[in-house]
Amino acid sequence: MVIVAVIKFYGCYKKSFKIEIFAIILVAIISIGVMYQGKIGGELTYTYGAHVKDHSDGMDCLDDPEDFLEEEKD
């Protein structure tokens, strides 16, 4: 993104509309790539628990939530 900003500043400095449009298109391409990467990473984490250490530990509390609830005793 920094390189795209430099290209945009260069286009503004030289007053070249084509360079500024090129920078805007580059920003759109990079943004789409980042969103796609986030979508794929989210799907992997949701489906397989990828890169989540001990993700199955929390599943035990779903069997019987009464065991894990703390109640105040009067």
Contact between 30 and 1 (Cβ < 8 Å): yes
Within 10 angstroms of residue 23's Cβ, the number of other Cβ atoms is 20
4-57 residue pLDDT tens: 888 888 888 888 888 888 888 999 999 999 999 999 988 887 777 666 665 555
Contact between 34 and 8 (Cβ < 8 Å): no
Report if pTM > 0.85: no
